[in-house]
Amino acid sequence: MKIAYLGPQASFTDLAVRKAFPDEHQVPCVTIPDCIEAVIEDEVDYAVVPLENALEGSVHITVDYLFHEADLSIVAELTSPIQQHLMVHPENSGGERRIEKIMSHSHALAQCHKFLHKAYRGTPLEQTTSTAAAAKYVSEHPGEKNAAIGNELAAKEYGLSISHENIHDFAYNHTRFIVLHKKSHPLAIEQNKSEDKTTLMVTLPKDRSGALHQVLSTFAWRQLNLSKIESRPLKTGLGDYFFLIDVAHGMDEVLLPGAISEMEALGCEVKMIGTYSSYMLDQ
């Protein structure tokens, strides 16, 4: 089977894919929408993309694509620890050489915000499509004296020297990656399974007082625990939102169908994004 991932090689997404799908054909894509479209266009069977980081929150492009653009299902979740390192071209390492620019994925730059503020205040930051894309760029442009933020494998893969290790601002730094597929069947993976989950996207009826309270009640009285609720713009006007809701429960015959029917009876639109198992990948 073919699996698209946010590349290039040695991105954090690649690390997750290597652990979860070591024997499958892995296809690097440049952007998250490219990964998603590769599944839609049947170029691959699955896509693995980042969804949320413990320090920086949701990856909005992934959430928004799932709601607005793609009719794909989450079939598994992979949670991985994240360690960020600052790396430079070996020609520019050692001594106190000036770094012209620090490049990385926006989430990686944000995860190292305090470090960058203290050690590199004033140095321009540049966003790239992934941490590995930044490492690749730095390796291919030694004359520019840039640094990249990424993982240890990226330093090895692109021949860079790590100048500062573990520069993420908080020790607990994990990212949730999701596995997307055209069909909604959960995908079993040979890794440590932590829990079953169901992800829903809910749009409330317009201007109905108490609608969100009523939606939450449908879960509360069934004792369905929510592990996440977040609002995102509907992109139709200020104040228009949909809610991304993760329920710590797999799809069953009674409780979740009951909650969904009740929300629909309240006038909500409910989009089922997936019912799946979550796997914890070790370092």
Ligand X SMILES: O=C(O)C(=O)Cc1ccccc1
User: Site residues for ligand X, window 130-169 (CB under 6 A)?
Assistant: 130-132
How far apart are the C-alpha atoms of 78 and 92, rounded to whole Å?
36
Angle, CA 225 vertex, CA 224 and CA 230 arms, to 5°: 115
Indicate the residue among 149 and 260 with the shorter CB distance to ligand X.
Answer: 149
Q: How many residues interact with ligand X (rule CB under 6 A)? A: 14
- Both structure tokens of 178: 């999701």
Q: How far apart are the first and last CA of the chain?
A: 25
**What would the x/- binding string for ligand X be over residues 12 to 41, using CB under 6 A?**
xx----------------------------
Indicate the residue among 130 and 198 with the shorter CB distance to ligand X.
Answer: 130
Q: Of these, 26, 53, 198, 203, which contacts ligand X (CB under 6 A)? A: 53
CB-based contacts of 177, cutoff 8 Å, min separation 6:
13, 16, 48, 49, 50, 51, 77, 78, 79, 80
How far apart are the C-alpha atoms of 137 and 64, rounded to whole Å?
28
What are the C-alpha distances in Å from 96 to residues 88, 93, 99, 135, 163? 12, 8, 9, 20, 11
Min CB(6)–ligand X separation in Å:
5
Q: Interface with ligand X includes 108 (CB under 6 A)? A: yes
Min CB(177)–ligand X separation in Å:
8
Min CB(11)–ligand X separation in Å:
3
Angle, CA 39 vertex, CA 58 and CA 148 arms, to 5°: 50
Min CB(125)–ligand X separation in Å:
14
Indicate the residue among 13 and 146 with the shorter CB distance to ligand X.
Answer: 13
CB-based contacts of 51, cutoff 8 Å, min separation 6:
58, 59, 62, 63, 77, 176, 177, 178
Please state whether beta strands 125-127 and 101-104 pair in parallel, antiparallel, or not at all (unpaired).
parallel
Stretch that binds ligand X, among 8-16, 38-46, 64-72, 185-193 (CB under 6 A): 8-16
Q: Of these, 28, 50, 186, 274, which contacts ligand X (CB under 6 A)? A: 50
Min CB(80)–ligand X separation in Å:
8
Task: Note the residues at the interface with ligand X (CB under 6 A).
Answer: 6, 11-13, 50, 53, 82, 105, 107-108, 130-132, 175
